[in-house]
Structure 1
Amino acid sequence: MGGAGELYLGLISGTSADGIDAALVAFDGDAPSLVHGITHPWPDDVRASVLALSQGEKHLDLDAFGRLDVAIGRCFADAANAVLAASGTQASQVKAIGSHGQTLRHRPGGDYPFTLQLGDPTVIAAHTGIDTVADFRRADVAASGQGAPLVPALHAVVLGKPGETHVVLNLGGIANITVLGPDGSVVGFDTGPASALMDAWFRRHHGGAYDAGGAFAASGKVDEALLGRLLSDPYFDLPAPKSTGREYFHLTWLDPQLDAQAAADVQATLLELTARSIALAIDRDAPAATQVTACGGGVHNAVLMQRLAQLMPTRKVASSGEAGIDPDFVEAMAFAWLARRYELRLPGNLPAVTGARGPRVLGALHRAPRN
């Protein structure tokens, strides 16, 4: 897509941590259009630290924590500068960057709820010369919300269809759905794992980043007993609003459930867990939906997409690409949209989705140096 208008830049690395998505976005009113998007690679050492920390496999002292915050900030700045160079855009043309950062912990429950994203936004502003809005989730959590998902607000703008019940499915490391009602109502929540567990299991056995196309999963058979144990986790039966992350659904969660299954059979079962938990959530919370529009990296897993279609035969399951929206950059576009909302002092959350006490302007501004 392309378009003229105000330019903002969105940055996010999701729960899969498979790259930093950078989207240059133009706005005509509230409607965004993608000017250019790239996925910028992580340095191997930084990505390894992010994955180990997010899965509870590593702990940092305060000095190492501070260094990682700056390192991630520099990586995000590199991604922003790369998309500017690729699109032939000057930093001075961009009104602001919206940076989600890299989530390491998301604990919206308990006596002291919190959410933690790294990637020092002051570093991003300094290394790009662009004002940077970041820390989008904490205002919602402070208002007793889940702080996630935040992207449903954008889904409503770009994919809402008056008179129809329409589901938008994000297939990142974690899966979430947005239910767009025929009356303009919006409900959304995390359904459980999408690619996070499959990616982690694949790395353990093959060393690669992910199971390309779902080929490894397709080589195995679903273990129904194992699947039943995994689906019995209480998270799947919780009512919305709810959110989760890699810090919950990781290999330490999986390993105690295993017997002596072949690695390919576990991969097949994890793919089925993703597909079935999503289908069950849609059947329960959006029974009238006739269309499911998918975005996120999981749309490239052909086996997963085929299985979702099989489990929901009365619904059309298709990539957001069919609606003219690049599935790889929807979330990055959302944080450009949220940065614009911040600058206009408009709410960025949907209390019906997150459970917050009310609408909140999300984020904090970190100005670029002027000399």
Structure 2
Amino acid sequence: MPELYIGLMSGTSLDGVDGVLADFSSSQPHVIAHASAPMPDALGAELLALNSSGADELHRAALAGNALMRVYAAVAGELLAGSSTPREAVRAVGAHGQTVRHRPQEFDGTGYTLQLCQPALLAELCGIDVVADFRSRDVAAGGQGAPLAPFFHRAMFGRAGETVGVLNLGGISNITLLRADGSQLGFDCGPANALMDAWCAEHKGQPYDMDGAWAASGNVLPALLDAMLADPYFTKAPPKSTGRDLFNRRWLDAHLAAIGPAAPADVQATLADLTARACSADVLRYQPDLRRLIVCGGGAFNRHVMGRLAALLPGAQVASSGDSGLPPLQVEATAFAWLARKAVLREKLHLQSTTGARGARVLGCIYPA
């Protein structure tokens, strides 16, 4: 009998919402349907603005959460309609929400992570139980609250007796190392599409650098690259996680100011190389014998970054997750469908090796329809 869950994800890139309808009745997840919706321009701008303190931000955040849930509900509706699936057949919807602040372990020792999400509204709109707030329990248990996808990566991409790397290139990059002995390591590497997309939008009027062609036309600026890579985050030992709280336009502008005028294409080339070098350095530091790196997220379509990763990791086969059975834009949404199922079944995840949490915990809160 099918075991159906919906996963909905809007990532740091702020480019849109991805959703999947997945069946978990067999040993490996099976995606029945995939749907996506672009982020409305005004909502995307507001979500980006809410990454920083501003006037009346509690009011604005609440309304932005409502608006985001309407986009989520539309994607869920498209999944059901496109697959001719009645909503009663779906056990739950896993809704990640939009991260606007991520400061684990800071300030009072516990810190916080904040995803804008109105799960009660989403349950009302969809008529399906909703699981949300996946990260807070991990933070409460002393963890980073991110990344959470590594647990799903093992279920989807793990192979007995083989070491496999899974690299997600979303707004932020994160790596999962699934080791042959059954252990795993996962953490955020640094910025990926967030900075590249912002720079491309400003200078080219395009939401992203198609295939990385603009970056490929420029020349890497060694002084800028070295200065950015000198940020302490890159050499900090895991568990660690990051986001726009650190890697934002202010961070980039500070480095640009230090080197003086630069051609926009050269800055784009340097940002692309920053992503490739940070990720490859983490692979070489923690799994130098890696032979297979599976890449997902929007960055998997950036041919220039993929080429740089392959050049920097000559011993590894670098390939899209599509070659391993799940297209790049479906991986994270499927991960949150998988996490929703774990919450419904009250199954604990052993988080310590990835987030640093004190022990196994059930992640997510359930909002009945």
Q: Distance in 2 between matches of 1:59 and 1:221?
A: 40
Gaps of 5+ in 1: none
CA gap 1:251/1:234 in 2 versus in 1, 3 angstroms: same
Partner SS state of residue 216, structure 1: helix
Displacement of 1:16 in angstroms is 0.2
Corresponding residue for residue 130 of structure 2: 132
Who is 1:184 aligned against?
182
1:16-27 matches, within 5 Å, as 16-27=13-24
- Helix, strand or coil at the partner of 2:73: helix
Partner residue, 2:312: 311
Residue in 2 that maps onto 1:38: 35
* Aligned counterpart for 2:88 among listed residues 89, 92, 96: 92
Whole-Å Cα distance in 1 between the matches of residues 18 and 61 of structure 2? 23
How many angstroms apart in 2 are the aligned matches of 1:284 and 1:35? 38
CA contact (8 A) 2:50 2:61 kept: no
Which residue number in structure 2 is paired with residue 169 of structure 1? 167
Partner residue, 1:109: 105
Distance in structure 2 (CA, Å) of the matches to 1:251 and 1:126 = 37
Once the two structures are superposed, residues 322-344 of structure 1 have per-residue CA deviations (whole angstroms, 9 ceiling, x without a partner) of 11111111110011001110111
**In structure 2, C-alpha distance between the alignment counterparts of 1:49 and 1:248, rounded to whole Å:** 19
Structure 2: which amino acid aligns with 1:51? L
Are positions 1:11 and 2:12 aligned together?
A: no
Q: Is the 8 A contact 1:121 1:133 kept in 2?
A: yes
Change (3 A) 1:271 1:326: same
Indicate how the Cα distance of structure 1 residues 255 and 57 shifts in structure 2: closer, same or farther if over 3 A, else same. farther
Where does residue 271 of structure 1 map in the other structure? 272
Structure 2 residue 366 is the aligned partner of structure 1 residue 365 = yes
Kept after mapping to 1: 8 A contact 2:61/2:116? no
In structure 2, C-alpha distance between the alignment counterparts of 1:349 and 1:362, rounded to whole Å: 11
Report 1:1-371 matches (<5 A): 5-29=2-26, 31-54=28-51, 56=52, 58-110=54-106, 111=108, 112-258=110-256, 259-348=260-349, 350-368=351-369
Distance 2:241 2:354 in 1: 10
Distance 1:237 1:165 in 2: 23
The CA deviation at 1:58 is 4.9
CA distance in 1, matches of 2:204, 2:55: 25
Opposite residue 45 of structure 1, the aligned amino acid is A
8 Å CA contact 1:140–1:349 kept in 2: the answer is no
- Cα distance change, pair 37–365 in 1 and its aligned pair in 2 (3 A): same
Moved over 6 A (4+): none
**Cα distance in structure 2, aligned partners of 1:140 and 1:57:** 25
60 and 198 in structure 1: CA distance in 2 versus 1, 3 angstrom threshold: farther
Q: In 1, distance between residues paired with 2:215 and 2:66?
A: 37
Q: Structure 2 CA distance, aligned partners of 1:201 and 1:14?
A: 18
* Inter-partner Cα distance in structure 1 for 2:218 and 2:266: 4
Q: CA deviation at 1:321?
A: 0.9
Counterparts of 1:351 and 1:80 in 2: how far apart (Å)? Answer: 32
Under a length normalisation based on structure 2, what TM-score does the superposition of the two structures give?
0.96
Deviations for 1:22-55, whole angstroms, at most 9, x for unmatched residues?
A: 010001245311111122122221111112223x
1:62 positional shift? 2.5
2:9–2:333: 8 Å Cα contact kept in structure 1? yes
Say whether the 8 Å CA contact 2:289–2:315 is kept in structure 1.
no
Matches of 1:57 and 1:195, distance apart in 2: 23
Q: 1:13 to 1:59 in 2, by over 3 A?
A: farther
Q: Deviations over 1:134-193 (max 9, x none)?
A: 000000000000000000001111111222221111110111000011111011000001
The one-letter code of the counterpart of 2:223 is: A
RMSD: 1.3
Q: Which amino acid aligns with 2:332?
A: E
- Secondary structure of the 2:96 match is strand
Residue type of the alignment partner of 2:357: A
Judge conservation of contact 1:121–1:132 (CA < 8 Å) in 2. Answer: yes
Gaps of 5+ in 2: none
TM-score normalised to structure 1 length: 0.95
Q: Would the aligned equivalents of 1:12 and 1:332 in 2 still touch at CA under 8 Å?
A: yes
Report the secondary structure of 1:328's partner residue: helix
The amino acid that maps onto 2:253 is D
Count of residues paired in the alignment: 364
Which moved further from structure 2: 158-167 or 334-343? 158-167
Letter in 1 for 2:195: L
Query: Match for 1:21: what amino acid?
Result: D
How far did 1:57 drift? 7.7
